[in-house]
Structure 1
Amino acid sequence: MMRTRESATHGEVVLDIRDLKVAFAAGDTAKLAVKGLDLQVKAGEVVALVGESGSGKSVTSLSTMGLLPPNAMVSGSVEVTGHQVIGLPEERMRKLRATEIAMVFQEPMTALNPVLTVEQQLTEALETHNLAFGQAARDRAISLLERVGIPDAAKRIKQYPHQFSGGQRQRIVIAMALTCEPKVIIADEPTTALDVTVQADVLDLLRELKDDLGVGILLITHNMGVVADMADRVSVMFMGDLVEEGTVQDILYRPQHPYTQALLAAVPRLTDVALTHDDEAGRLEAERVAAAAAADREVVLSAKNIAIDYKVKSGVFRAAEGVSFDVAAGETTALVGESGSGKSTVAKAVLGLLPTAEGELRVQGRDLARLKGKEAKLARRAIGVVFQDPAASLDPRFPIGDCIMEPMVVHKVGSKADRVARAKELLAAVKLPADVLNRYPHELSGGQKQRVGIARALVLDPTVLIADEPTSALDVSVQATVLEMLKEIQADFGFACLFVSHDLAVVDHLADNVVVMKRGQVVEQGPTEQVLHFPQEDYTKELLAAAPVPDPDAQKVRREARHRLLGMGAS
């Protein structure tokens, strides 16, 4: 039989942090990561804790869960529903987790056990905390999956995590957090790994849980659009200090601290989008400007009706079909769409990593599909690539200089002195000092690693650059710096850029043209001003409505427009 628990009264303080200090011992020294933090979360409200990497956000969340490593030295007070967490024995802390406080992690696939069914993972917490057993626990697990929007929950509960999509996995993680009816949920970057439409669905779900169950949510994020969409109050952290706090309107409309102002200034914004009306005059003007810009273009990458197949056990799966677009020198064309839309598949085909089943894919007039041996290798020299994860794309055993020069070694370009000179030239172009050549990847920040990735992509002077989500792993201010640098370098080097992204604000900032993909096909394409600001297709409008903006009032309008497009009604 399932035991029900009493929920917190709306407005009651469920998480109370007072003068929290956290330091980490490192040899004979200690690094102070959190410097006297005060923060409260009440039942039925969302408090957003924002700041860049290293600001102390995640250390604060781990403190509330009692999950800090052994070398952490903690002082101050952290109370969860009246229970003091600091100094609490592990056995008693384990009872608090799930029953009073639970956590939703950033990456759902690492938060779920791949060798256990969803049923086993959901019922484990209920049985561990003596809340339900057997069929009662299974029924509770099914109702939780239904609550978070998993279709056909009674059948799918027997499946494993890999059999669900990314958005469904995140919903399962939220269901796990709710198993024991906690009064506090810590949501640590819960939507970072998700597409904009799936992100919007997960945020809708969290909003429902807050309203219906009265759960207090501490939302940790660097996405100011998510803050505008979800938060009641905002706390801003910088280098371990709480530098500003207030209502979401106060922080996003009237920031006082220079760091908050700089953080908001760095956020790319997608505004003036015609979702709720048809701006015929604006659309015609955008078309006129686009036609004038298209008059003098040097096309270097051209795809005409390409199709791409994957071999699977049952035969062949067509991942993309009838895809056509072109990219000119000095221009950026963005491929956008949800996961599974085919955008990364198309990018891999351009790189020569996947064969095309139909159509023509030409770089500088040469059809890549028909080239063999030395000709194919020579054609691919003209294509550079910047990967999504800057840390994973650099070999940790090699100094930065070797990482940058590796393509020149592979293609036997230049002498050793020529290669070093080229590497130094490109480091200067990406605004890094020459002494970085002798440093190793682990000695650089995320933004510096991505700059190195861009330098390496340019080392053979490519005519086409493929950039696959190159800023999604970066903080907002670092992202802004890298995007501006990409624009400057493109102006200097004149390459054509194929930019793969799900961040439509970044696309609006960087791209000249946009290709919108859905289920392997192009649904809309054209100049950025036309496609992102005067969309014609409902799918494009849904993508745009799902992209959160750092403006609470505008975000509410956009959320209501999305619900109308989906037939959900305004909320």
Structure 2
Amino acid sequence: MSHAAPVSENSAGEYALSFKDLQVTFETSGPEVHAVKGLSLSVRPGEVVALVGESGSGKSVTSTAAMGLLPSNASVTGEAKVGNVNVVGLDQGKMRKMRATDIAMVFQEPMTALNPVLTIERQLTEALELHGIAYGRAATERAVELLTLVGIPDPAKRIKQYPHQFSGGQRQRIVIAMAISCDPKVIIADEPTTALDVTVQAEILDLLRELKDRLNTGILLITHNMGVVADMADQVAVMFQGNLVETGSVDQVLLHPQHEYTQRLLAAVPKLSSAHVDEIARHAEENAAKGRELVLEAKDLVLEYDMRGTKFRAVEGVSFDVAKGEVIGIVGESGSGKSTIAKAVIGLLPVAGGSLEINGQNLPKLSPREARAVRRKIGVIFQDPAASLNPRFPIGECITEPMVVHKEGTKASRIKRAEELLDAVKLPRNVINRYPHELSGGQRQRVCIARALTLSPELLIADEPTSALDVSVQAVVLEMLQELQRDFNFACLFVSHDLAVVDMLADHVVVMQSGKAVEQGLVKTVLHNPQHDYTRRLLAAAPVPDPHEQAVRREAWRALNSGK
């Protein structure tokens, strides 16, 4: 196991950011929580150091300590130096002056980092004026310059707009513009691409790389996406339960991991496989031989949103079908119409044209009562488990809610069903009386899967069910979905922007672009031999956890994009 270079006094000036024996503990009503245990790590100017690990490993606590943003119940010892200044125990006034000018942060969720009631101009000029860099018109000109730098089109006009008028990727670019506005020595990027599509993610990573080279800024990149690490990092540090268990160059750690935890993390990353192809082909052929029992069939599907009297067509002329025991993956960028299709199947959006049949019954033509009976056979897993569980219900009631809604069973039989499902999703039965906030993200997502299976559905709709999860938790949840499908034999509509996950789970795939299906067919043909340029771009944009292969893919993605 290699260690990070120790920070000696005379060389401290070489580092944009350095930690030496950093310890962070939190006082709680119970025992003390030791979140970071003696971490030593350094970031040089112009270097990207990736800090990886699962939720709860101490990554974000480390970055918050460097920003001086830890809550009052935290006690910190050791050093966290920004340039030559140790920020541990630094006076709040001095720390405030250092933020933005010396150290800046790009947060995971741009909407929480931007003020929804202030224009982008106000938010960008605020930091410039606060730190005495520019005022009035000069500050506005600098703000327009920053938006140009991060690739926002028509910046002079768009600077007058509000955050909600920008897409997710553009909002993240604005947050990066705010971070670089005062030329900081180091930027901490905390999961900067988690909520983004693969193509937008590739653009944001390209932008960060370009800015780092131009401004010679050090970047501490916090992520659980090993593909992003391979794409961006020079050095990698792996955290596990508050300890740094492995550090080294990106090649060393990703290609020759020494610690068993790093090996486990890398083994959990879903990859676009070739070995899997034969298995899928065999599976598809077996299904075809058996005769497919269609559960869901869409023909020339047209879906529209009513935007204050004007119709916006979100999906046009899409046809597909899925049979019992099959998984169909729907992939594409944000705004391509993936989730809109899922909404229409659940009945949350009326069908504007074409047909959408579930077990031979055309949804648009059914009366509300008949539609309700059809929906009873559909289970849904949403993207964000925290938002889709009622925080005031104990887990048992969350799981049995569909039985209550559809007036099924007695109280005792519902509890029995909840216990069976907790077994099926590999959660201990004693969580039945706990509340959602007492469980981790991965456990909450399992509860959502259990709830989706309560009424033994014939069709399961999974909308980005693993995008908010760590790689190792994601691997467990995906494996569990495969097992449950073998046991329950449901048809599954799987919406995702992670092509490796779709490759692992799905039999068929539909690639969506701007509301149309540009390519569809068996996963093995579409994802391993794509015919359409857009599918090729999507595949090239998905990062892989091998730095050499990723460098080749990045060039391929740039070449495809320059020709689009």
TM-score using structure 2 length: 0.95
1:390 to partner: Cα distance: 1.2
The match for 1:177 is 179
- 440-449 vs 555-564, which deviates more? 440-449
The match for 1:6 is none
C-alpha contact (below 8 Å) 2:280/2:507 kept by paired residues = no
C-alpha contact (below 8 Å) 1:514/1:527 kept by paired residues = yes
1:558 aligns with 2:560: no
Return the match for 1:137 from 112, 136, 139: 139
Structure 1 runs of 4+ with >6 Å offset: 282-289
Pair 567,271 (structure 1): closer, same or farther in 2 beyond 3 Å = farther
- Deviations 1:208-265 (CA, angstroms, capped at 9, x unpaired): 0111111100000000000000000000000000000000000000101111111111
Q: What does residue range 305-454 of structure 1 map to in structure 2 within 5 Å? A: 305-313=300-308, 315-454=310-449
1:88 aligns with 2:90: yes
Q: What letter is aligned with 1:447? A: G
The match for 1:231 is 233
1:271 to partner: Cα distance: 4.5
Return the match for 1:207 from 206, 209, 214: 209
Return the match for 1:164 from 151, 163, 166: 166
- Deviations 1:138-161 (CA, angstroms, capped at 9, x unpaired): 111111110100111111111111
Q: What letter is aligned with 1:68? A: L
Return the match for 2:518 from 511, 523, 532: 523
1:418 to partner: Cα distance: 2.0
- Deviations 1:351-409 (CA, angstroms, capped at 9, x unpaired): 01111010110011011111113211111101010111112211121111111111111
Pair 291,271 (structure 1): closer, same or farther in 2 beyond 3 Å = closer
The match for 2:4 is none
- 484-493 vs 371-380, which deviates more? 371-380
The match for 2:245 is 243
Report SS of the residue matched to 1:39. strand
1:259 aligns with 2:254: no
1:540 aligns with 2:535: yes
- Deviations 1:11-35 (CA, angstroms, capped at 9, x unpaired): 9311111000000111474211000
- Deviations 1:49-75 (CA, angstroms, capped at 9, x unpaired): 000011000000001101001111000
1:314 to partner: Cα distance: 5.2
Name the CA distance, whole Å, in 1 between partners of 2:105 and 2:537: 29
- Deviations 1:396-434 (CA, angstroms, capped at 9, x unpaired): 211111111111111111222222222221111111222
Name the CA distance, whole Å, in 2 between partners of 1:565 and 1:290: 31
Q: What letter is aligned with 2:255? A: Y
C-alpha contact (below 8 Å) 2:25/2:36 kept by paired residues = yes
TM-score using structure 1 length: 0.94
Q: What letter is aligned with 1:340? A: G
Of all paired residues, the percent bearing the same amino acid is 68
Instruction: Structure 1: give runs of 5+ residues left out of the alignment.
Output: 1-8, 274-281
The match for 2:52 is 50
How many residues align structurally?
552
RMSD over aligned Cα atoms: 2.0
Name the CA distance, whole Å, in 1 between partners of 2:85 and 2:246: 27
C-alpha contact (below 8 Å) 1:283/1:534 kept by paired residues = no
The match for 1:111 is 113
The match for 2:3 is none
The match for 2:494 is 499
Instruction: Structure 2: give runs of 5+ residues left out of the alignment.
Output: 1-10
- 295-304 vs 255-264, which deviates more? 295-304
- 152-161 vs 182-191, which deviates more? 152-161
- 189-198 vs 373-382, which deviates more? 373-382
Q: What does residue range 182-201 of structure 1 map to in structure 2 within 5 Å? A: 182-201=184-203
1:294 aligns with 2:288: yes
- Deviations 1:69-118 (CA, angstroms, capped at 9, x unpaired): 11110000111011111111111111111111100000011111111111
The match for 2:25 is 23
Q: What letter is aligned with 1:138? A: T
Name the CA distance, whole Å, in 2 between partners of 1:202 and 1:373: 45
Q: What letter is aligned with 2:113? A: A
Return the match for 2:450 from 440, 447, 455: 455
C-alpha contact (below 8 Å) 2:22/2:40 kept by paired residues = yes
